[in-house]
Copies of this chain bind each other. A is one copy, B any other.
Amino acid sequence: MSHLIDSLVDILGRDYVITDSIRRDDISKTTLLFQNIPDVVIYPKTTEEVQKVMRLAQEKNVPVWVVSTGKNWGYGSKTAAYPGGITMILVRMNQIIEVNEALGYAIIEPGVTYAQLNEYLKSKNIKLWMDSAGSTESASVIGNALDKGRGLTSYADHFGALCGMDIVLPSGELMQTGGGPTNNNCSRYLYKWGIGPYIDGLFVQSNLGIVVQAGLWLMPEPEAFDFMVFQYKANEDRLPNFVDDLRQLVSRGFLPSRPHFANDYAMLCIVSQYPHHLLTKGRTHLSREALLQWRKSFGITSWTCGLGLYGSKTEVRLQKRMLKKVLGKYGRLQSFGIALRKDWVGRLAFWIAKKVARFMGISDEMVEQAVPAANLFKGIPTDQFAKQVYFKNYEAKPKGEIDPPKDGCGFIWIGPVIPFSSDDIQRIMDTTKIIFEKHGFEYFVELIIEGPRSIIFLMGIFYDKKNKEECERAEAWYFEIRQLCLEMGYPPYRETTQSTTKALDTNPEMKKLIGQIKMAVDPLNILAPGRYGTPLREDSKCNAVGND
């Protein structure tokens, strides 16, 4: 055991310094074809411990990769961009410091999960709604926000909802953003821009500091809520009109939520398991005909989405009327309203909704998504949709908690940001479909409505990690589609750890500036080297133990 490990044990206690090789391997597993095993994994509990570790790392010249809970599955989970070094996991820093109901914010640590925050709000009967990512309820609220993750309510922009951060700098110093008097700034959780440069942005998708506490804006519980499901049934050639009409709805405020439109395959992953029996011989992916046959058996159309309606009763009625008027032209719009109530009226209404749906060829599995989906639009987290990643090479989706990297699930996400315009959607669909086809994967797309001006065009593939040939295709798919999107001018909103060092390659001036800032605040390149476009360390293998 080296001096470094001893010092870490001194700071954190033996239980929170992991050197066992099997555990280190487990912890650093990803759903990508990319994994770097750290020399040591640590779990600090307090800001002071984080500061001490950073000072130690500076002294010993050992890199520290930091994740909150490390649940950014499909983007890199807990792996570093390089082998070796210290990996710091902040899951034990899980205090909810304060929730201010009147002013609508919480102050939390990075280990606080969606499930935990929601539970806290509900148990204390606080009339504020959290916005949850559509992924797992065990994800870190702050971690997701710092990766620019998104949810579905009016507060879907998670980084946008952060206000006022406590940051441990690479030197180990503690800093408060917001510009006001340190430890005496009454508006630091209330007003984003502070005084002087607004620097919170330096700590998202970056390696300039460790956010150990942050303010998070929460949505006041509306007087009324409704949930609707929309199924696009028009011809594909009307998609451009649909997109432009949809943008109008969003920019005029008639769609206060931030829905995700899932294409047929994306929807099928949720309600079903992969139909290996429909795979004709010699094919690696379903033919158009097979897909249509499969989707028909579930009553799924080319695009599906859930919509949350918020406001006073009159406002919700108004939104509903507008949505019916506009979206009704393109498909079926079903309001769940009463069917979401938990009393006998609600159960009856839900039973009727199921019967009606069945009559229209829509499967029970499809209707059963309504409750968790509606909950998501109220900020109540669920693992229901994250479980889609088990749909391909597994018999069934697991019950209870999930751990896709450990369970060997293979999947990769990429979400280029495109203008909210029919031309751009058409252009990216036409070009990316070819890449999926070329590498033998089904076309998986979700249109994440970012706002009235842009859409995150989320694409993904599922692959069998035990199948070498499929893995090769998966990796080729990822790099080709990433390159294509960049060439089309559609940069991804988020990088996988596999490509994080290349994040700014297409903007060399910005890469240079951020490199200069990195050198200024972290001259030894200790904190998460390589993350989001800054250079890796010279010593490509950052052996913490060996260095000591």
Question: 1/0 per position for A191-217, CB-CB distance to B under 8 A?
Answer: 111111111111111101000000001
> How far is B244's CA from A203's CA once the two chains are assembled, in angstroms?
34
Contact status B514-A103, CB under 8 Å: no
Q: How far is the CB of A224 from chain B (nearest CB, A)?
A: 11
Determine the distance from Cα of A197 to Cα of B199 in the docked complex, in whole angstroms. 10
> CB of A274 within 8 A of chain B?
no
Q: How far is the CB of A425 from chain B (nearest CB, A)?
A: 12
Which residue in B176, B195, B206 is a CB contact (below 8 Å) of A495?
B195
Q: A182–B508 Cα gap in the complex (Å)?
A: 8
Task: Report A129 CB to chain B, min CB distance, Å.
Answer: 12
A521: CB under 8 A from chain B? Answer: yes
Q: How far is the CB of A169 from chain B (nearest CB, A)?
A: 7
The reply to whether B194 and A491 form a contact with Cβ atoms under 8 Å apart is: yes
Residues 58-109 of A contacting B (Cβ, < 8 Å): 102-105
Contact across chains for A190 and B318 when beta carbons are under 8 A apart: no
Decide if A492 is an interface residue (CB 8 Å cutoff): yes
Residues of B within 8 A of A503 (CB): 179, 195-196
Of B193, B490, B520, the residue contacting A517 (CB under 8 A) is: B520
> A-side binding surface: helix, strand, loop or mixed?
loop
**Chain A 214-257 interface 0/1 with B at a Cβ cutoff of 8 Å (1 = within):** 00010010110000000000000000000010010001110000
Number of chain A interface residues as a range:
35 or more
A window 334-365: CB within 8 A of B: none
Q: Which residues of B contact A420 (CB under 8 A)?
A: 103, 190
Q: Is the CB of B417 within 8 A of A450?
A: no
Q: Are A516 and B520 in contact (CB under 8 A)?
A: yes
Q: Is the CB of A205 within 8 A of B196?
A: yes
Q: Who on chain B is nearest to A207 by CB?
A: B197
Q: Which residues of B contact A508 (CB under 8 A)?
A: 182
B102 contacts A247, C-beta separation under 8 Å: yes
CB interface residues, A 272-294, toward B, < 8 Å? none
- The answer to the question of A295 belonging to the interface, with a C-beta cut-off of 8 Å to chain B, is no
Chain B nearest CB, measured from A135 CB (Å): 18
Residue A315 is within 8 A (CB to CB) of chain B in the complex:
yes
Which one of B176, B195, B318, B417 contacts A509 once the chains associate, using CB atoms below 8 Å?
Answer: B176
User: Are A509 and B186 in contact, with the CB atoms below 8 A?
Assistant: no
A52 CB to nearest B CB, Å: 17
Interface residues of A (CB under 8 A from B): 102-105, 148, 159-160, 169, 173-182, 184-187, 189-206, 208, 217, 220, 222-223, 244, 247, 251-253, 311-312, 314-315, 318, 322, 417-421, 424, 450-454, 486-495, 503-504, 506-510, 512-514, 516-517, 519-521, 532-533
Not counting A175-B513, A222-B252, a sample of 8 additional A-B residue pairs whose C-beta atoms are within 8 angstroms of each other reads A103-B421, A180-B417, A184-B489, A191-B450, A193-B204, A195-B493, A252-B312, A318-B318
User: Which 7 A-B residue pairings sit nearest by Cβ, starting from the closest?
Assistant: A198-B201, A180-B491, A520-B520, A181-B506, A175-B509, A190-B453, A186-B489
